[in-house]
Structure 1
Amino acid sequence: MQGTVDGFRYGAVTPVAAYLMACLGGALGLRCIVRSLIDEESWKPGWLALGAASIGCGIWTMHFIAMLGFQVDETGIRYDTGLTLLSLAVAIAVVGIGVFIVGYLGAGKGALGVAGVATGIGVAVMHYIGMAAVEVNGDIRYDTLTVGLSVAIAVVAATAALWAAVTIRGFMASLGASLVMGVAVSGMHYTAMAAVSVHVHGNGSAAWAGDSPTSLLLPMLLGPAVFLLLAGVVVMFDPLLVLGDGEWSKSAVSPRNSAARAAKEPAPQHTSPVFGEPVGPARPRQDQHKAAAPHWAPPPGGEW
């Protein structure tokens, strides 16, 4: 029996929430990557790892928030815990591969192409591992053409995101890039879900009654969501992460560097009032309040 698949059980709530989480993860990840590039003295591997974890958690959280709205009318749905957690690890790992490639090799065509393809395919693998975690009283089937389209969208979205990470420096530009990234990632998810059909085994509703995907997914979503909030706190309390490229260049001059530059400058020279030639370092002005010399007066009687 063909099942009736609905991906919007709660209307627009789950798509909007999923999109916002994808944008949040993308924005945090992009700013962390920029932080590793504009400050050579920062701990680059740490910032790249934080950026990869933010983007990966954002994509994974987006996927399973959207899956809260997925239902099959003829059967209940369960989720395999191990595969669900594996999909999170895959999301962070594959995004990390792409982030570290462009973080160290730049946005050249070769590096960007390899990183984008690897990350995009990895994101698609994460999606389908997450779908493998779905358990229904039936068989989940996919339309091959639509699956291929979803993988292509994932590759394009990943490549664009990595390009933006190493090219766009300004805060507002990064924010705009994260909004576009959220659209691409959400579009990939719902394109992939359009490929899904379910063949139900008999009347499965009675055997699976009472099972709710929220009982498993909501506790598991709590961890990545808290991580994204903490990463957001790190971004907001690091002023270098909210500055644009020009502002960063201005703020990069530290007091220590200013003092060192001043020490290298020659001392001002004192010039001769007659010849105008330097005669040595300028000396401090004499005390203006020094007592004046006593005035000489003639002796008594007017005699000299």
Structure 2
Amino acid sequence: MTATVSNFHYGAVTPIAAFLMACLGAALGLRCTTRSLRRTYRSRRAGWLMLGAVSIGCGIWTMHFVAMIGFSVEGSPVSYDSTLTLLSLAIAIAVVSVGVFLVGYRGATPTTLSVAGVITGLGVAAMHYVGMAAVQTHGSVEYDAPTVVLSVLIAVTAATAALWAAVSVHSLWSSMGASLVMGVAVTGMHYTGMASVSVHITQQASATQSSTDLLSFLLSMLAGPVAALVIAAVIVMFDPDLVLGEGEWKAG
């Protein structure tokens, strides 16, 4: 039978928290990429770009699994395969790194943005669906193909916009505004993808799901990426440009 699926088991708490994590990752990533483009930071460009990619990747991945805390299936417990869960994190960071380094070193030309945006967007979508493959229930998870395609298109569009903003938006407040837009786009991609999900129960659950155990697992998975975001935030906050001004931009 087809089970009732909810993405809002805890109400508005999880989507709001997921949105904030997506915004945090985007904001940190944009500021790190901005710093990599300064003449004064040219020798450390790769380090800033990598920190930016890790921030954006961890922000997207954390958004996904914070949102998944609110995922529930009526009549079946939900658990996660830890290997696939960690693989989805590696995919998120890897593909965002490709996009960030492309635009960081080659600039925001239409061709570079298109290639980097498609690669990154497809990677973000892959992260989402690998993360969904980690979901284990007493049934089979199926997807509505047109909605999946729509979620991928949103991911590609959001990724392209994020990469354009990373090399084009320089001021602090513009970066904050761009990060809010990116938070909406990335969170929207997640919930669009989740709208395609249906679960067909094939085995009657023999025991009541332990929501505490599931929450403990997800929080333990989130600890590392959240710590990475905190470290990135500390590095960005103590960067002297936040106090001393914008500095000198790379020519060309």
Give the TM bin, normalised by the shorter chain.
Answer: over 0.9
Larger Rg: 1
Provide the C-alpha distance between the structure 2 equivalents of 1:196 and 1:83, rounded to a whole number of angstroms.
Answer: 18
Q: Aligned partners of 1:242, 1:117: CA distance in 2, in Å?
A: 36
Aligned to 1:198: 199
Match in the other structure for 2:225: 224
Report the CA distance between 1:248 and its aligned residue: 2.1
CA RMSD of aligned residues (A): 1.7
Offset at 1:230?
1.0
Distance 1:161 1:67, change over 3 A: same
- The answer as to 2:84 corresponding to 1:80 is no
Shift of 1:200: 0.3
2:238 and 2:170 mapped to 1: Cα distance?
A: 18
User: Which residue of structure 1 aligns with residue 23 of structure 2?
Assistant: 23
Tell me which residue corresponds to 2:168. Answer: 167
Corresponding residue number in structure 2 for 1:260: none
Q: Tell me the residue number matched to 2:126.
A: 125
Q: Following the alignment from structure 1 to structure 2, what is the Cα–Cα distance between the partners of residues 13 and 104? A: 39
> What aligned pairs does 1:239-254 form with structure 2 within 5 A after superposition?
239-240=240-241, 247-249=246-248
- Offset of residue 241 of structure 1: 5.1
Cα deviation 1:243-289 (Å, max 9, x = unaligned): 76xx4249x9xxxxxxxxxxxxxxxxxxxxxxxxxxxxxxxxxxxxx
One-letter identity of the residue aligned with 1:222 = A
Name the CA distance, whole Å, in 2 between partners of 1:110 and 1:170.
25
Amino acid at match of 2:247: W
Q: Tell me the amino acid that sits aligned with residue 25 of structure 1.
A: G
Conserved in 2, the CA contact under 8 Å of 1:171 and 1:243? Answer: no
Per-residue deviation at 1:215?
2.3
What SS does the corresponding residue of 1:248 show, helix, strand or coil? coil
Determine what percentage of the aligned residue pairs are the same residue.
Answer: 62
The SS at the match of 1:74 is coil
The separation in 1 between residues aligned to 2:37 and 2:135, in whole angstroms, is 40
Matches within 5 A, 1:1-304: 1-39=1-39, 40-204=41-205, 206-207=206-207, 209-210=209-210, 212-240=213-241, 247-249=246-248
State whether residues 78 and 209 of structure 2, in contact with CA within 8 Å, keep that contact through their aligned partners in structure 1. Answer: no
2:4 partner letter: T
Residue 216 of structure 1 deviates from its aligned partner by 1.1
The alpha-carbon deviation at position 43 of structure 1 amounts to 0.7
Q: Is 2:14–2:70's contact at 8 Å kept on the other side of the alignment?
A: yes
Q: TM-score, normalised by structure 2?
A: 0.95
Q: Which runs of 5+ in 2 are unaligned?
A: none
Which consecutive residues of structure 1, in runs of 5 or more, have no partner in the other structure?
Answer: 253-304
1:56–1:28 distance in 2 versus 1, CA, 3 Å: same
2:94 partner amino acid: A
Q: TM-score, normalised by structure 1?
A: 0.79
Q: What SS does structure 1 have at the residue aligned with 2:79?
A: strand
Matched residue type, 1:190? Y
Task: Give the structure with the higher percent helix.
Answer: 2
Q: Deviations over 1:114-138 (max 9, x none)?
A: 0000000000000000000000000
* Partner-residue secondary structure (3-state), 1:43: helix
Q: Higher relative contact order by CA 8 Å / sep ≥ 6: 1 or 2?
A: 2
1:15 partner SS: helix
Kept in 2, the 8 Å contact 1:28–1:55? The answer is: yes
Distance 1:115 1:154 in 2: 12
- Size of the aligned set, in residue pairs, is 248
C-alpha separation in 1, matches of 2:78 and 2:148: 22
Measure how far apart 1:207 and its partner are: 4.5
Separation in 1 of the partners of 2:85 and 2:94?
15
CA distance in 1, matches of 2:243, 2:121: 27
Other structure's SS at 1:141 match? strand
CA contact (8 A) 1:235 1:242 kept: no
